[in-house]
Amino acid sequence: MRRRMMKSKIHRATVTDANLHYVGSITIDTELLERSDIREWEQVTVVDIDNGARFETYAIPGGPGDICLNGAAARLVQPGDRIIIITYADYEDA
């Protein structure tokens, strides 16, 4: 049986920008992407600790310290909000 389980997590990242006039996605510091094993274009779940919003988008690499919500998702967060970024993968039972 296959199970969907959490693969990666960036906990309590602080939103640095929210850019409504962009196609979509979340821009994440490239080093954070590498250290958390999240790839460019990978689907992510974003949970806003401050307002309870929860939504899905995809990751794109950014500069040092960048955590920027783009497009429609920018309406769901504010700069300074603390968020959790989660990815999932399917695994086979042993």
Please list the active-site residues: 25, 58
The H or E element containing residue 67 is strand 67-70
Question: Which residue type, as a one-letter code, is found at position 69?
Answer: L
The H or E element containing residue 32 is helix 30-36
End-to-end CA distance of the chain: 9
